[in-house]
Amino acid sequence: HHIMEHTEQGVLTTPAPLLTRVFQELGNGMVQFHRALSVATTPFPPQYAKTCNGCLILHWFVAPLVTSQWATHPVWAGLFSFIQVFVLWMLNRIAVELAEIAADRESRPGG
């Protein structure tokens, strides 16, 4: 809207082929925005979340066994196992918090 106004008023003196490309890119941007919006507003399936938690619990038990076979000293095995499990659980927790924030935002009026 503003592009056409400024073109008609002579403020924007861009040739028509370049303006066509500008409108094409704006259209492509809007398409990508709506795709991202649909991904952001699609609820996360609870079954998938439960499966992720199950895999994390399995990893919690298996990681020390595998790491103990790989590491040369028990302290290293414990440290590496702790780091792996801790990082994965914290990433999961961050994802849960972000999902809760998004759900709270959607539940508010005007959300």
44-57: per-residue pLDDT in tens? 788 888 999 999 99
**Minimal CA–CA distance to 60: which of 35, 34, 38, 86?**
86
CB of 27 closer than 8 Å to CB of 19? no
CB of 64 closer than 8 Å to CB of 78? yes
pTM for the predicted model, two decimal places: 0.58
- Give φ, ψ of 11 to 5 degrees: -70, -40
- The percent of residues above 90 in pLDDT, for the chain, comes to 48
